[in-house]
């Protein structure tokens, strides 16, 4: 039986990356994928589906003397099953996780 596909759904993440840091890490993460990077978006086309990633740089967060970059990342999944979305996001989060103890 075919998996049910969702025509379109979005997930938004608030990340502690600058635009340049995100793009650099994304290239490592997506080294085996076809993708296109534009000014503020990334498109990962598929045969039957498409993933659009929108990047919106925010003002740095300031905590005492520490400046943390702030990026809003919106993933729009078109024709992905819930399982495919979950798998992609899990792999993404593992790749983009910043260390800590």
- Report strand pairing: 5-15 vs 50-63: unpaired
**89 is a domain residue:** yes
Q: In 3-state terms, what secondary structure has residue 54?
A: strand
Rounded to whole angstroms, the Cα distance separating 84 from 64 reads 40
**60 is a domain residue:** yes
Q: Which residues pair with 77 in a beta bridge?
A: 9, 51
CA dihedral 82, 83, 87, 93 (to 10 degrees): 40
**81 is a domain residue:** yes
Contact criterion met (CB below 8 Å) for 89 and 11: yes
Q: State the CATH number of the domain containing residue 20.
A: 3.30.1370.80
Give the model confidence (pLDDT) of 17-75 as tens digits.
999 999 999 999 999 999 999 999 999 999 999 999 999 999 999 999 999 999 999 99
Q: What is the pTM of this model?
A: 0.88
**100 is a domain residue:** no
* Tally of domains within the chain: 1
């Amino acid at each position: 039986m075919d998996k049910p596909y969702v025509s379109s759904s979005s997930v938004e993440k608030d990340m502690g990356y600058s635009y340049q840091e995100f793009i650099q890490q994304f290239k490592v993460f997506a080294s085996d994928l076809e993708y296109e990077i534009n000014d503020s978006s990334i498109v990962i086309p598929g045969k039957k589906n498409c993933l659009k990633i929108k990047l919106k740089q925010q003002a740095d967060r300031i905590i005492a003397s520490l400046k943390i970059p702030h990026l809003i990342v919106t993933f729009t999944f078109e024709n992905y099953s819930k399982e495919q979305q979950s798998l992609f996001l899990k792999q993404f989060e593992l790749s983009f996780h910043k260390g800590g103890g």
